[in-house]
Chains A and B, each alone.
Chain A
Amino acid sequence: MEGDAAGIMDKSINVLIVDDYRTMLRIIRNLLKQLEFENVEEATDGREALAKLRAGNFGLVISDWNMQPMTGLDLLKEVRADPRLKATPFIMVTAESKTENVIAAKQAGVSNYIVKPFNAETLREKIEKVLAHA
């Protein structure tokens, strides 16, 4: 139940948001702040994100797909292949809206998938869902 999930959602976790558009990072950060997630860090591509994930302790990754040099899908694969990081909830937030992209992400172990443009309610709902199953 979504209501139950909201009740057990731990908002003190560290969240890493990954996007090569700084404006998008800012929008997601502000939306997370409205959802009362205050511990938010940013990275602008998969490589930088992976370094931060390996150095820190994150309870959620929210990542774009289309970034250089390391894409969100490649980041997801690295996360799932790393014994320490593999259980980290990972939400893909991307403009990539082809079925093949969704399937590839699912096969790589994505926790949920949000297509851009998205609304705050969709973001809240997906975060609650993945954290409830974490």
Chain B
Amino acid sequence: MPDGLRGRGASAAAAPPPPPSAEAIEAAVRAVLGSLEGDLTAKEAALLAELEALGRTVRRVKAEIAALGVEDITASHIPSATDELDAVVEHTAAATNEILDCCETLERLEPQLGGEGQAALRGAITRIYEACSFQDITGQRIAKVVAALKAIEARVAAVVGTVARVAPAADAGGAAASPAEAAAGARPPPTEGQALAQGPQLPGAGVSQDEIDRLLASFD
């Protein structure tokens, strides 16, 4: 490898250059177009056509993004959706706790029944306890959806900031880090436990209790 490239490579590894903003690209296109004067060769004419097309594309994309009103996604739609999901978790937790209150009351009454009635009531209460664990599973599934929505929100904000200049700060100094990138930079690396935590799997995607038992037995 030539020394010059090696030197550039080392420099890039230390501090990767920020990606150019849409405005920087457009300015470069205009600068190149402005420098092309006089008779053009076929190659230069083709280049000119390409650059003009690129400039039109940049302007069209900016206009389309502005017309989409994407700022509503980060300002209203996603916060509203996550609030609704938080409310679902809150209300199902409240309802589940109410059910558990009732079960605990019934458990206290169990001894008064005695015999088969007591056993039947105990069995029914156990089944209710088992069923109430749905709240944990649905809560974890909803948390995964909220995390996905927040990731979409961060990416939309980054696109808006970079291309449509809706968030001018994103262009300061070439390319500021997105909120998600900034947050990721401040966090310590995940532990193995955090990296492997994926929450409940969809039916068929995870392993069953029987399969887990066989897997654990295979270590013995």
Using CB atoms and an 8 Å cutoff, list the residues of chain A in contact with chain B.
19, 21-24, 26-27, 30-31, 34, 46, 65-66, 68, 70-75, 77, 95-104, 106, 112-120, 122
Contact = CB atoms under 8 A, between A and B. Distances in A.
Nearest to A100: B196
A73 B192 contact: yes
Interface string B126-138: 1001101111110
B137 A95 contact: yes
B137 A101 contact: no
Contact of B130 (A22, A113, A115, A120): A120
Contacts of A114: 209, 212
Contacts, number: 122
Given A23-B136, A74-B192, A119-B130, A96 B197 contact: yes
A contact face: mostly helix, strand, loop, or mixed = helix
Given A23-B93, A97-B212, 17 more contacts: A21-B93, A26-B100, A30-B100, A30-B104, A30-B107, A66-B199, A73-B192, A95-B199, A96-B196, A97-B208, A98-B201, A99-B215, A102-B215, A102-B216, A103-B215, A104-B192, A106-B216
Contacts of A22: 93
B97 A71 contact: no
A80 to B, nearest CB: 13
A1 B128 CA distance: 29
A113 B212 contact: yes
B126 A31 contact: yes
Interface in B131-185: 132-137, 139-140
A77 B200 CA distance: 22
A65 B130 contact: no
A21 to B, nearest CB: 5
Contact of A122 (B134, B193, B209): B209
Interface residues of B, number: 39
B contact face: mostly helix, strand, loop, or mixed = helix
B103 A30 contact: yes
Contact of A115 (B96, B97, B208): B208
Given A116-B133, A117-B130, A118-B130, A102 B207 contact: yes
A34 B197 contact: no
Contact of B135 (A23, A75, A77): A23
Interface in B186-211: 191-194, 196-201, 205-209
Contact of B132 (A27, A96, A99): A27
Contact of A65 (B96, B193, B216): B193
B201 A116 contact: no
Contacts of B193: 46, 65, 70-75, 77
Given A31-B129, A65-B193, A117 B201 contact: no
Contacts of A30: 100, 103-104, 107, 129
Nearest to B206: A97
Contacts of A34: 122, 125-126
A30 to B, nearest CB: 6
26 contacts: A21-B139, A22-B93, A23-B135, A23-B136, A24-B133, A27-B130, A27-B133, A30-B129, A65-B193, A65-B197, A74-B194, A75-B193, A95-B199, A97-B201, A98-B196, A98-B198, A102-B207, A102-B215, A104-B192, A112-B216, A113-B212, A114-B209, A115-B206, A117-B133, A117-B134, A118-B130
